[in-house]
Amino acid sequence: MKLSEILSQADKPLISCEFFPPKTDKGEENLWNCLDELRSIDPAYISVTYGAGGTTQGRTKGIVTRIKEETGLSPVAHLTCVGASKGDLAELLAEYRAAGIQNILALRGDAPEGMDRFEAADGGFSYATDLIAFLRTQGDFSIACATYPEGHPESKGGVADDIRYLKMKQDNGADCAVTQYFFDNDAFFRFRDATEKAGVTIPIVPGIMPVGNFEQIVRFSNMCGATIPAWMHEQMEPIKGDLKAVQALGIELAVKQCRELLEADAPGLHFYTLNKSAATIAIRNQLVDLL
Ligand SMILES: Cc1cc2nc3c(=O)[nH]c(=O)nc-3n(C[C@H](O)[C@H](O)[C@H](O)COP(=O)(O)OP(=O)(O)OC[C@H]3O[C@@H](n4cnc5c(N)ncnc54)[C@H](O)[C@@H]3O)c2cc1C
């Protein structure tokens, strides 16, 4: 089903789940098991990342196609500008059209490993805004985009830049936006208010990262610019060696965060699952009164 239809027909907030293409057979088996388990919480769509840093790009298409053909779930394929000319992108999009894949999460992407900054490929695009405009010329895709309530790490003008570019993504054809994960809901609420003032009307779905391994989340957050609030450090640091305790607290904190977001009319919750299903299911099952 197309993302635009899923969104317009929704009469309650939607749950969506993000996976990355596994690199091993065991990882692949785990992915299909997770998707099977997630059926119990009825996700509106499953999104599959596109080779962060330019790796594993080829696997996204195989996975979204199999999700569509074998699971009955609606897939969303992430797509970046990394290493691709317009022609390369047009070729891949033709393959998606032929496979009946209708939803794309359009991104610029990050610099591939070994490069210190993103550079557009020859004949390629420099920004997600351009990729979104191009996508609109390539068929009837429904398009999601990324946005950053705490600012993208490269945004020289801070969050104000991200608000301006989100409006541009909407104007170029994005149907909805998914945020980078954050732990401080006030940052999201401030961002949402500011985007409204700037004329953004598409749904902005908060990205939720259940903490399962605190040291890993600290590393991720340093790279992607998400702030870990002092209260989270205080609670997680003393238990960080005990993964079971971290996971339990991670779920408790995510339930609290999601509850507050839903009570403040968030249009949905997008879970960064890191290819695990248990935390997402546990969180969702503690929010049944709101979903
Ligand atoms: C929901 C979500 C999913 C993601 N999935 C993937 C994935 O599958 N694969 C992957 O490799 N990475 C993924 N990422 C990470 C993403 O690729 C990086 O954050 C990347 O650095 C920026 O991508 P973007 O599409 O947000 O870029 P853009 O929106 O293009 O922004 C990049 C930078 O350029 C600036 N900018 C934006 N538009 C313009 C413009 N028109 N003119 C001038 N400056 C501009 C912005 O302020 C920002 O600093 C994801 C991120 C999120 C939030």
**Digit-coded pLDDT (tens) for 138-179:** 999 999 999 999 999 999 999 999 999 999 999 999 999 999
Q: How confident is the model at residue 86 (pLDDT cuts 50, 70, 90)?
A: very high
Q: What distance in angstroms lies between residue 174's CA and the mean position of ligand 1's atoms?
A: 14
User: In the prediction, which pLDDT does 146 show?
Assistant: 98
Residue 19 and residue 49: Cα distance in Å, rounded? 6
Q: How confident is the model at residue 112 (pLDDT cuts 50, 70, 90)?
A: confident
Model pTM above 0.95: yes
Which atom of ligand 1 lies nearest, measured to the CA of 79? 8
Q: How confident is the model at residue 111 (pLDDT cuts 50, 70, 90)?
A: confident
Residue 214 CA from chain centroid, whole number: 20
φ, ψ for residue 84, nearest 5 deg: -120, 135
Q: How confident is the model at residue 114 (pLDDT cuts 50, 70, 90)?
A: confident
For residue 52, pLDDT over 70 is answered with no
Round the average pLDDT of the chain to a whole number and report it: 95
User: In the prediction, which pLDDT does 113 show?
Assistant: 78
User: In the prediction, which pLDDT does 58 show?
Assistant: 80
Pick the residue whose CA is nearest to atom 40 on ligand 1: 127
Ligand 1 mutation pick, 118, 165, 180, max ligand atoms within 8 A of CB: 165
Q: Which amino acid is at 87?
A: G
Pick the residue whose CA is nearest to atom 2 on ligand 1: 146
- 70, with CB counted inside 10 A (0-12, 13-18, 19+), is exposed
Q: How confident is the model at residue 115 (pLDDT cuts 50, 70, 90)?
A: confident
Residue pair 200/163 in contact by the 8 Å Cβ criterion? yes
Pick the residue whose CA is nearest to atom 53 on ligand 1: 180
CB 173 near ligand 1, within 6 Å: no
Q: How confident is the model at residue 55 (pLDDT cuts 50, 70, 90)?
A: low
Ligand 1 mutation pick, 103, 107, 200, max ligand atoms within 8 A of CB: 107
For residue 56, pLDDT over 90 is answered with no
95 is catalytic: no
Q: How many angstroms separate the Cα of 207 from the Cα of each of 89, 98, 131, 182, 221?
A: 26, 30, 22, 7, 13
* The CATH fold of domain 3-290: TIM Barrel (3.20.20)
For residue 208, pLDDT over 80 is answered with yes
Q: What distance in angstroms lies between residue 234's CA and the mean position of ligand 1's atoms?
A: 31
Q: How confident is the model at residue 57 (pLDDT cuts 50, 70, 90)?
A: confident
Q: How confident is the model at residue 184 (pLDDT cuts 50, 70, 90)?
A: very high
DSSP string, 71-118: T-PPEEEEE--TT--HHHHHHHHHHHHHHT--EEEE---PPPTT-SS-
What mean pLDDT comes out for the span 93-104? 96
**C-beta neighbour count of 62 within 10 angstroms:** 13
- Over pLDDT 70: what percentage of the chain? 98
User: In the prediction, which pLDDT does 276 show?
Assistant: 96
- Over pLDDT 90: what percentage of the chain? 92
What mean pLDDT comes out for the span 22-43? 94
Query: In 3D, which of 14, 52, 64 has the Cα closest to residue 4?
Result: 14
